[in-house]
Chain A
């Protein structure tokens, strides 16, 4: 088994925590996991990406056009991530637009961006992670909603039982464990409908 999952978002959206929970859960379930991240100056509110690879893997980076799934925490970043996609790649996209600072350019609306993605990508799912997280009281739960969506849409339960994910959330996110698990649960429903 080999799964390459490319995460794209904006610095501060919790991509590294997402990847750590997922990678730790995979390892607990008996799979090798590799996560490649960037720290330092590159993370201050700029575009960030994290490569998560699970199973029979050696190299830390996903090849171009080589991701099985792209999890975009922000919709413009989903468009930037297409370099990692091929025609079979599944896109899981947060319906959230974060305006890039210091640009005078007109940014298309979420609906327009959604249509662009739908017209060129076969398997694309849109997630209201921002709304779900705000309902739970804070936008910081967005990442666990996205994790739930990934888990159900990609059918990851065939490799990682759900209680192991919950355990990994407990072990890796020290604060507000209950609400983070709730956020994960909320995300699960996105796999049931298209």
Chain B
């Protein structure tokens, strides 16, 4: 333990620091909330210690980059959000068959409550499905420790491991003991071993047997890992992950009398550790965030052992399967399971006779997506078409809201193209399809779908909102910084390709109209709306930023600006005239272009500012 200090650290940074302390050499990932800060940390700090870290074009590619490094013998890690793991499932399933030479941790950050996700799948199931052990930390310190344990366990067993975090671990800051990074362990070279690394059926059949053999060793060895056990009453609470912290508070502060066992590995369960704890208990309560993964395995285990003890958990609806755990949901469940009073119910609530209107997330001031959605709306209306707006994953999913209502479907990365094609063919071409996709999402999963649209001649307008960064997850770089999306579409043979700046309101509308004409004649049209993310632009070119103001005398209170653009900086006054909040406006100029009375005027050198912004 050389040069260790205690620091307040985000859970994700703690995972990343664990990666550095474990001597990981190759790290790859695709951004996604709540996982993104792991790779950001490794890219910012890992490089100086000789770590190779990259943002990959999607999770499957990221997985393969890390997996390949681990096959060669390097220590490696791949990071993604829970739904990203679906994209990486193909190599993931194979990785258990081939095993690895260097320690290989697959980090999945799950998002119970769907703070920033389309579902709340529990990726611990993947461990059972794929024969891959799952480590589950419960706070930032354990996030660092378990990451190191996981990588070492992986290397010792020549087998990949999963590390499952959740929002309330990844995005919690807490004290973490931080030590010096280890020298990255790269492979000496790649030793050819096609019998193991090339999964032709004959090899795969042999390897499946080897996999099962490794799995039974893993089942035994997880008992050696540091699981937490706190001796208490003959009630036993078994937890995994963040549930442990709520159980600790229940015992310490809310009068719950119980022993607590937290398993570091929900998959596979540490059998001896569990049987030992259960042998001292009259009843068992299982608390975990997500699905009853531990609970169901525990029931199977105790059945096998012929142990009959009540097991209480999600099967009895004591704890929520939807959303995240809270102190209240945990105490509700525990008080029912153990038949005790819930002291949290004695807190006196406060009543206020006013419920403020909801404040949903909105496009940022100056967001180029606002302009794009406005222009798309006007152009389609002018053309007399009512398209299906096939949406996608990114900040632009906010286009679902008023006044835009331009996200009719939205299910998974790249779905805007695929679902759009399906709607077109499923309606025998009755519907006009507009697919709306971001730059990073385009390269992630839109590209093969564009190939399909062109190859199978499916008429559609594909509008790529190219804001130069992966904005929703914090502005990470992506292939659009080096590869021109318009050129890609041209080379693939799209019937119409045009790149336009959404801040040139009139011109952008003309381009969309042209593209719609091509689509109506049966063509595939690609329009790239190219303008950098406003958050990034104001950060990068801070000194250039200018803003607009409303000339009170010229404003006719028509409401076009605040009703149709809906920029948060545009505020309707009591008089229905518009006012621009000078602390919010970032000078994008779009409202000024839309105002029919020229009532919105610049305060500084707008040309200079907008051309600096265009350098992104």
Contact = CB atoms under 8 A, between A and B. Distances in A.
Contacts of A32: 174-175
Contacts of A62: 327
Interface string B128-143: 0000000000010000
B347 A65 contact: yes
Interface string A74-104: 0011011011011101000000000111110
By CB atoms of chain A within 10 A, which of B33, B249, B350 has the most? B350
A194 B281 CA distance: 54
Contact of B328 (A41, A64, A100, A108): A64
Contacts of B568: 45, 101
Interface in B541-579: 566, 568, 571
Nearest to A61: B326
B384 interface: no
B354 A59 contact: no
A139 B583 contact: yes
Contact of B395 (A38, A41, A80, A86): A41
A136 interface: no
By CB atoms of chain B within 10 A, which of A38, A59, A61 has the most? A59
A57 to B, nearest CB: 8
A167 interface: no
Given A46-B360, A58-B245, A102-B403, A41 B348 contact: no
Given A33-B174, A77-B359, 20 more contacts: A11-B361, A32-B174, A33-B8, A38-B171, A39-B171, A41-B115, A42-B361, A59-B249, A59-B327, A60-B139, A60-B245, A63-B331, A65-B348, A66-B344, A82-B350, A85-B349, A102-B362, A102-B403, A120-B352, A139-B583
B33 to A, nearest CB: 3
Contacts of B8: 20, 23-24, 27, 33, 35
Q: Classify the interface of chain A: helix, strand, loop or mixed.
A: loop
Contact of A35 (B34, B172, B253, B364): B172
Nearest to B571: A99
Contacts of B426: none
Interface of B: 6-8, 33-34, 36-37, 115-116, 139, 167-168, 171-175, 242, 245-246, 248-249, 252-253, 326-328, 331, 344, 347-364, 395, 397-398, 401-403, 472-474, 566, 568, 571, 583
28 contacts: A10-B359, A20-B8, A23-B8, A24-B8, A37-B173, A39-B33, A39-B474, A41-B395, A41-B398, A42-B361, A45-B364, A46-B361, A47-B358, A58-B249, A59-B245, A60-B172, A63-B328, A64-B326, A64-B344, A76-B357, A79-B355, A79-B356, A85-B350, A86-B347, A102-B566, A116-B352, A116-B354, A120-B353
A76 B359 CA distance: 10
Contact of A66 (B172, B327, B364, B472): B327
Contacts of B172: 34-37, 60
Nearest to A168: B8
A82 B174 contact: no
Interface residues of A, number: 60
B34 A39 contact: yes
B441 to A, nearest CB: 14
Given A19-B173, A38-B115, A41-B397, A103 B349 contact: no
Contacts of B116: 38-42
A157 interface: no
Contacts of B351: 82, 120
Contacts of B583: 138-139
Q: Which 10 A-B pairs have the closest CB atoms?
A: A40-B33, A40-B116, A46-B361, A65-B347, A44-B361, A63-B327, A76-B356, A35-B173, A58-B248, A100-B359
Given A46-B361, A87-B348, A61 B354 contact: no
Contact of B362 (A39, A44, A108): A44
A190 B116 CA distance: 37
A86 B346 CA distance: 10
A43 interface: yes
Interface in A16-30: 19-20, 23-24, 27
By CB atoms of chain B within 10 A, which of A23, A65, A89 has the most? A65
B361 A43 contact: yes
A121 B354 CA distance: 13
A93 to B, nearest CB: 12
A151 to B, nearest CB: 17
A26 to B, nearest CB: 8
Contacts of A47: 358-359
A82 B347 CA distance: 12
B350 A44 contact: no
A139 B582 CA distance: 10
A144 interface: no
B454 to A, nearest CB: 31
A158 interface: no
A145 interface: no
B357 A107 contact: yes
A82 B326 contact: no
Given A36-B171, A66-B327, A86-B350, A41 B472 contact: yes
A117 interface: yes
A192 interface: no
Interface string A45-58: 11100000000111
B571 A45 contact: no
Nearest to A175: B542
Nearest to A34: B174
A36 B168 contact: yes
A155 B566 CA distance: 42
Contact of B34 (A20, A40, A44, A101): A40
B167 A82 contact: no
A67 to B, nearest CB: 10
Contacts of B358: 47, 100, 103
Given A10-B359, A58-B245, A60-B242, A42 B352 contact: no
Contacts of A193: none
Contact of A83 (B327, B349, B474): B349
Nearest to A76: B356
By CB atoms of chain A within 10 A, which of B242, B348, B357, B358 has the most? B357
Given A41-B33, A102-B566, A107-B357, A82 B352 contact: yes
B56 to A, nearest CB: 19
Nearest to A2: B253
Contacts of B253: 2
Given A20-B173, A23-B8, A102 B401 contact: yes
Contacts of B347: 63-66, 86
Contacts of B474: 39
Contacts of A64: 326, 328, 344, 347, 349
Given A59-B248, A66-B344, A34 B173 contact: yes
Contacts of B362: 44-46, 101-102
